[in-house]
Amino acid sequence: EDKVVQSPLSLVVHEGDTVTLNCSYEVTNFRSLLWYKQEKKAPTFLFMLTSSGIEKKSGRLSSILDKKELFSILNITATQTGDSAIYLCAVKLSGAGSYQLTFGKGTKLSVIP
Amino acid sequence: NAGVTQTPKFQVLKTGQSMTLQCAQDMNHEYMSWYRQDPGMGLRLIHYSVGAGITDQGEVPNGYNVSRSTTEDFPLRLLSAAPSQTSVYFCASSPVGGGEQYFGPGTRLTVT
């Protein structure tokens, strides 16, 4: 059974802190890993990672994939209260399931002033 | 482009009632899917479609039906609502080559 595990499940930090969110996976036919941010409504796309060792960066957020050890991390530096959200990790498979995403349970990040 | 739209935003049903959640996209995406999100459970796939006339089951399909008569629309039907179907429902779409999925704003459904 395909599995995506995120840790921690929840995290409380102060503004200005740096956080690292973890996502590990056990799937057959891995194609890519995606990160989403979910505030009050729909998840919004952050990154898609396909190759090992190549960092994707957008402002204070960055992410990297390790296909040998089957995990990804999402880093947020100099956190702000607007970063408070649920961060979702999802894995896309190749082959017949190539459109489907298998999601982890999410990490709820709370940034306090 | 409106992207992915869902109606209604909120719905309260009594046990045994039926209803249809609507989803439409204007991006000409082949792939569409329905997820439900429950506290602490992440997003779980209900049904998906890779094109008009083609649908398949996801992880949690029981109690739900779908059809795909056009590229744009992918309605989700609850034939006989149960309290276990209380959840937030998201529709998503993506282009045929894969890539990121775009999500609608969600429908919050309560079954009493």
Nearest to A34 among B50, B100, B105 (CB): B100
Nearest Cα residue in chain B from A93? B98
Is residue A65 scored above 90 in pLDDT? yes
Q: Which pairing describes strands B107-111 and B10-13: parallel, antiparallel, or unpaired?
A: parallel
Q: How far is B80 from chain A (nearest CA, A)?
A: 26
Tokens describing residue A38? 């979910």
CB atoms within 10 A of CB B83: 11
| A103–B94 CB contact, under 8 Å | no
The percentage of residues in chain B with a pLDDT greater than 70, rounded to a whole number, is 98
Residue A98: predicted pLDDT: 67
φ, ψ for residue B85, nearest 5 deg = -90, 5
Residue A100: predicted pLDDT: 80
B27 near A CB under 8 A = no
How do residues A81-106 score in pLDDT, each as one tens digit? Answer: 999 999 999 998 877 666 788 999 99
A44 near B CB under 8 A = yes
- When mean pLDDT is compared across A13-17, A65-69, A106-110, B104-108, the lowest value belongs to A65-69
Query: What 3-state DSSP class applies to A83?
Result: helix
Helix (H) or strand (E) holding A44: strand A44-49
Residue B70: predicted pLDDT: 96
Q: Which residue has the tokens 């309605």?
A: B75
Query: What whole-number distance in Å separates Cα of residue A67 and Cα of residue B56?
Result: 29
Query: What whole-number distance in Å separates Cα of residue A37 and Cα of residue A60?
Result: 14
How do residues B27-79 score in pLDDT, each as one tens digit? Answer: 999 999 999 999 888 899 999 999 999 999 998 999 999 999 999 999 999 99
Is residue B103 scored above 80 in pLDDT? yes
| B43–A103 CB contact, under 8 Å | yes
Nearest to A104 among B42, B94, B106 (CB): B42
Is residue A6 scored above 80 in pLDDT? yes
Is residue A63 scored above 90 in pLDDT? yes
Residue A107: predicted pLDDT: 96
- Give which of A87, A98, A99, A103 to mutate to test B binding, by max B Cβ within 10 Å: A99
Q: What is the CA radius of gyration of chain A?
A: 14
B39 near A CB under 8 A = no
Nearest to B98 among A88, A92, A102 (CB): A92
Confidence of residue A1 (pLDDT cuts 50, 70, 90): confident
A105 near B CB under 8 A = yes
Q: How far is A16 from chain B (nearest CA, A)?
A: 27
Residue A70: predicted pLDDT: 93
Is residue B97 scored above 80 in pLDDT? no
Residues 6+ apart with CB under 8 A from B78: B13, B18, B19, B20, B21, B63, B64, B85, B109
Residue B53: predicted pLDDT: 94
Q: Which pairing describes strands B31-37 and B87-94: parallel, antiparallel, or unpaired?
A: antiparallel
Compare A22 and A41 and report the one with higher pLDDT. Answer: A22
CA separation, residue A102 to residues A27, A41, A57, B22, B104 (Å): 9, 19, 23, 23, 18
Helix (H) or strand (E) holding A24: strand A19-26
Q: What is the mean pLDDT of residues A38-54?
A: 90
Confidence of residue B23 (pLDDT cuts 50, 70, 90): very high
Query: What whole-number distance in Å separates Cα of residue A22 and Cα of residue A6?
Result: 6
Nearest to B48 among A31, A42, A100 (CB): A100
